[in-house]
């Protein structure tokens, strides 16, 4: 049976998704092997998450998705491999499945969803050229727009946290000439998680049909942040603080325009969402968060209405 992909935006009613998996996650990495400053921080503090806790948190997420009638696919389990963040390995725009060119150390993660890729129309599976660096956390389809987080400064190569380059922005423009592609420069740091927007979804995410969560300081260029704020309208934007960005408040996940899955700790955000008519399914996800990723990072949506 073939899977008919359909993704036009971040919030339409979700029908099918790949949710990452925490089983056989491997031992705590060394500081040198960590991919982001937040993981490094927890490795150094001895608070890096335990596999059993992460399995439990992801099971809670899966339960909520299934309760809302979503078809949940999981990657095949690879031994001693961190497979939590399925958003990084691929993403869907319209009916196209685009394989990410991720950090070379993480290439194996894609093999765990090849059973799903085999059920897609091969003409709709895109493999960007090697020079195109892109991860799904930086790519947000929003109806006639595609928003992309990027870093195009001359010191790009020195940041392990810079994941999506100018070649990726150009490639997506070429593949989707009917879309308005807007790129946003993000702040990067290899050492300070409070100064690092790892992906666009670490400092921005649309919610409902016309609202957004935004963190001004995640953006390198003030005018680009202002464009987004004006696009949604100041009264429709929930601005998060540096501490809330660090805790990953913008990385919630929409099941529909009226339902989001959020972290139980995000009390200020969750109250705002509820006040705007959005039902919040609040779950515990604080252990996963220690790896600088949260609910959106753990998902790869395949079909939305």
Q: In the chain, how many domains are there?
A: 1
Q: Is residue 286 part of a domain?
A: yes
The CATH number of whichever domain residue 49 belongs to comes to 3.75.10.10
What digits encode the pLDDT tens for the residues 178-193?
999 999 999 988 787 7
Q: Is residue 109 part of a domain?
A: yes
What percent of the chain clears pLDDT 90, i.e. is strictly above it?
79
Alpha-carbon gap, residue 82 to 20, rounded angstroms: 9
Q: Is residue 22 part of a domain?
A: yes
- Indicate whether 31 pLDDT > 80: yes
If you write DSSP's letter for every residue of 187-246 in order, what string do you get?
---SS-GGG---SGGGTEEEETTTEEEE-GGGBSSHHHHHHHHHHH-GGGEEEPPHHHHH
What digits encode the pLDDT tens for the residues 120-163?
999 999 999 999 999 999 999 999 999 999 999 888 888 877 78
Backbone angles phi, psi at 121, to 5 degrees: -65, 120
Q: Is residue 209 part of a domain?
A: yes
**Which residues make beta-bridge pairs with 206?**
212
Q: Is residue 4 part of a domain?
A: no
Confidence of residue 265 (pLDDT cuts 50, 70, 90): very high
Q: Is residue 57 part of a domain?
A: yes
Please give the residue range of the domain that contains residue 125: 14-304
Q: Is residue 5 part of a domain?
A: no
Confidence of residue 33 (pLDDT cuts 50, 70, 90): confident
Q: Is residue 283 part of a domain?
A: yes
């Amino acid at each position: 049976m073939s899977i008919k992909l359909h993704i036009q935006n971040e919030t339409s009613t979700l029908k099918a998704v790949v949710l990452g998996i925490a089983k056989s996650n491997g031992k705590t990495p060394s500081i040198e092997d960590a991919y982001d400053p937040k993981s490094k921080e927890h490795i150094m503090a001895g608070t890096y998450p335990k596999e059993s806790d992460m399995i439990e948190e992801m099971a809670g997420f899966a339960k909520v998705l299934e309760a809302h009638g979503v078809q949940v696919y999981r990657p095949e389990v690879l031994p001693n491999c961190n497979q939590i963040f399925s958003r990084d390995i691929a993403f869907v725009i319209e009916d196209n499945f685009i394989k990410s060119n991720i950090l070379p150390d993480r290439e194996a993660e894609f093999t765990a969803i090849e059973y799903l890729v085999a059920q897609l129309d091969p003409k709709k599976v895109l493999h960007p050229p090697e020079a195109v660096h892109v991860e799904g956390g930086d790519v947000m389809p929003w109806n006639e727009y595609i928003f992309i987080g990027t870093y195009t400064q001359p010191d790009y190569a020195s940041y392990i946290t810079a994941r999506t380059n100018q070649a990726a922005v150009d490639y997506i423009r070429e593949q989707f000439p009917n879309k308005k592609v807007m790129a946003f420069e993000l702040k990067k740091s290899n050492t300070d998680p409070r100064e690092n927007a790892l992906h666009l979804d670490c400092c921005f995410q649309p919610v409902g049909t016309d609202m957004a969560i935004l963190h001004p300081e995640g953006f390198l260029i003030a005018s680009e942040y202002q464009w987004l704020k004006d696009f949604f309208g100041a009264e429709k934007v929930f601005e998060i603080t540096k501490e809330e960005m660090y805790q990953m408040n913008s990385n919630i996940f929409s099941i529909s325009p009226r339902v989001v899955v959020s972290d139980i700790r995000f009390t200020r955000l969750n109250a705002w969402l509820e006040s705007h008519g959005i039902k919040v399914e609040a779950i515990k996800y604080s252990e996963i968060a220690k790896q600088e990723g949260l609910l959106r990072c753990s998902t790869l949506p395949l079909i939305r209405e």
